[in-house]
């Protein structure tokens, strides 16, 4: 198998990784690898060059943003994606069951077949994990602005950005249309996941399935200032499911209407602004990925039994 390996030079673990070590790992796995270390701003250009004479697979070395960029180019092409978890959080890799050890991740590419997994789409832009509007994108924007100006660490930036956004009372009126059913909410956020998310402290995998062909839509109703504070605190603890009036909805197509002409949103951790309304849809089996336990079929119908943890009040 001949592959192109694109490693994000700014990814957390990539800085301490020597090209010689990575070459050895692929050689030992009997994979012919053309390895390129890429600066973040050059990633799309180098990826386009690699696809002019398509290899058997594209291997992405980096975090979720890196993998999302590559996945969007590979969607629907039949060219598999291999994952090297070199980022800080590696949510996509963990949800796929990719080993966090680099040597094991390379071996997984060599011995596993490619399995179809879903992607999500918003206004024509693809994502592999999730997208959201409201408080979270504002917190990320504030955090990165403070880190750029003050050089503070990420954890401290999260806290200070959280406090600044909280003071604005960040509630927004939205009208949601999910598979043709419309409802309105006054909420601090709308979270749209590529398949179902489960928020539990200490749990590495946030999604058990990446092939259900659905969107997972989370909103919450906030009654007063202290309920908003509690909501943000639970989010920091990764316990959003414990929030009062937490709502989970599931469907294949979602339209978010707002009085604003453009909305700031996050898409796999990256910020952008898109024209309203936002049109989300599930893209079942759009991407091929090397992972353990391959050959899991893409399902057309979702078994409601796997949502029992939500409780009857939260299912809709």
| 131 and 108 in a common domain | no
Query: What pLDDT is stored for residue 235 in this prediction?
Result: 72
Distance, in Å, from the CA atom of 214 to the CA atom of 288, rounded to the nearest integer, reads: 17
Alpha carbons within 13 A on the beta-carbon side of 80 = 18
pLDDT surpasses 90 at 191: yes
Using DSSP bridges, classify how beta strands 2-8 and 32-38 pair: parallel, antiparallel or unpaired.
parallel
Q: Name the more confident of 89 and 240.
A: 89
Closest CA to 146 of 40, 135, 154, 213: 154
Over residues 179-200, the mean pLDDT reads 92
| 173 and 103 in a common domain | no
The answer to whether residue 316 is domain-embedded is no
What mean pLDDT is reported for the chain?
85
Query: What pLDDT is stored for residue 299 in this prediction?
Result: 43
| 108 and 149 in a common domain | no
In terms of average pLDDT, the best of 38-47, 68-77, 138-147 is 68-77
> Which tens digit of pLDDT belongs to each residue from 106-130?
999 999 999 999 999 999 999 999 9
| 150 and 106 in a common domain | no
Q: 316 falls in which pLDDT band (50, 70, 90)?
A: very low
Do the Cβ atoms of 113 and 107 come closer than 8 Å?
no
Residues facing 241 on adjacent strands: none
pLDDT surpasses 80 at 258: yes
Residues facing 82 on adjacent strands: 59
The answer to whether residue 16 is domain-embedded is yes
Query: What pLDDT is stored for residue 312 in this prediction?
Result: 31
pLDDT surpasses 90 at 310: no
| 75 and 19 in a common domain | yes
Query: What pLDDT is stored for residue 300 in this prediction?
Result: 41
Structure tokens at 243: 């929030």
Q: What is the CATH number of the domain that holds 67?
A: 3.40.50.10330
The answer to whether residue 230 is domain-embedded is yes
The answer to whether residue 306 is domain-embedded is no
Closest CA to 209 of 219, 200, 198: 198
Rounded to 5°, angle at Cα 130 from 125 and 136: 105
- Cβ contacts of residue 88 below 8 Å, gap of 6+? 12, 63
| 280 and 146 in a common domain | yes
Query: What pLDDT is stored for residue 169 in this prediction?
Result: 64
| 246 and 170 in a common domain | yes
Structural domain including 45 reads 2-114
Q: How many residues does the chain have?
A: 316
Query: What pLDDT is stored for residue 137 in this prediction?
Result: 79
| 283 and 144 in a common domain | yes
Closest CA to 267 of 61, 142, 128, 152: 128
Over residues 120-141, the mean pLDDT reads 91
> Which tens digit of pLDDT belongs to each residue from 155-182?
677 777 777 777 776 789 999 999 999 9
Distance, in Å, from the CA atom of 84 to the CA atom of 107, rounded to the nearest integer, reads: 11
Query: What pLDDT is stored for residue 205 in this prediction?
Result: 82
Q: 311 falls in which pLDDT band (50, 70, 90)?
A: very low
The answer to whether residue 171 is domain-embedded is yes
| 141 and 28 in a common domain | no
Query: Which 8-state DSSP code applies to residue 244?
Result: T
| 79 and 158 in a common domain | no
Query: What pLDDT is stored for residue 14 in this prediction?
Result: 65
> Which tens digit of pLDDT belongs to each residue from 16-46?
777 788 999 999 999 999 999 998 788 889 9
Q: What percent of the chain has pLDDT over 70?
A: 87
Using DSSP bridges, classify how beta strands 246-251 and 215-220 pair: parallel, antiparallel or unpaired.
antiparallel
pLDDT surpasses 80 at 296: no
Q: What percent of the chain has pLDDT over 90?
A: 58
């Amino acid at each position: 198998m001949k592959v192109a390996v694109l490693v994000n030079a700014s990814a957390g673990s990539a800085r301490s990784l020597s090209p010689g070590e990575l070459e050895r790992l692929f050689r030992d796995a009997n994979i012919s690898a053309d390895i390129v270390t890429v600066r973040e701003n050059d990633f799309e250009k180098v990826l386009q060059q690699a696809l002019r004479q398509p290899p058997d697979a594209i291997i992405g070395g980096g975090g979720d943003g890196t993998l999302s960029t590559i996945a969007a180019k590979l969607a629907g092409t039949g060219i598999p994606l291999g994952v090297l978890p070199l980022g800080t959080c590696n949510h996509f890799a963990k949800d796929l069951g990719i080993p966090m050890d680099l040597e094991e991740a390379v071996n997984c590419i060599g011995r596993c077949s490619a399995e179809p997994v879903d992607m999500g789409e918003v206004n024509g832009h693809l994502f592999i994990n999730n997208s959201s509007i409201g408080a979270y994108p504002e917190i990320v924007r504030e955090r990165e602005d403070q880190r750029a100006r003050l050089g503070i660490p990420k954890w401290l930036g999260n806290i200070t950005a959280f406090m600044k956004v909280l003071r604005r009372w960040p509630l927004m009126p939205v009208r949601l249309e999910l598979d043709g059913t419309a409802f309105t909410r006054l909420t601090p956020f709308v979270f749209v996941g590529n398949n179902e998310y489960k928020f539990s402290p200490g749990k590495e995998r946030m999604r058990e399935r990446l092939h259900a062909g659905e969107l997972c839509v989370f909103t919450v109703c906030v009654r007063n200032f202290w309920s908003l504070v509690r909501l943000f605190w639970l989010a920091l603890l990764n316990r959003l499911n414990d929030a009062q009036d937490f709502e989970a909805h599931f469907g294949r197509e979602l339209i978010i209407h707002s009085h604003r002409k453009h909305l700031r949103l996050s898409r796999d951790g990256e910020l952008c602004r898109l024209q309203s309304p936002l049109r989300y849809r599930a893209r079942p089996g759009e991407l091929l990925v090397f992972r353990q336990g391959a050959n899991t079929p893409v399902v057309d119908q979702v078994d409601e039994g796997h949502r029992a943890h939500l409780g009857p009040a939260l299912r809709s």
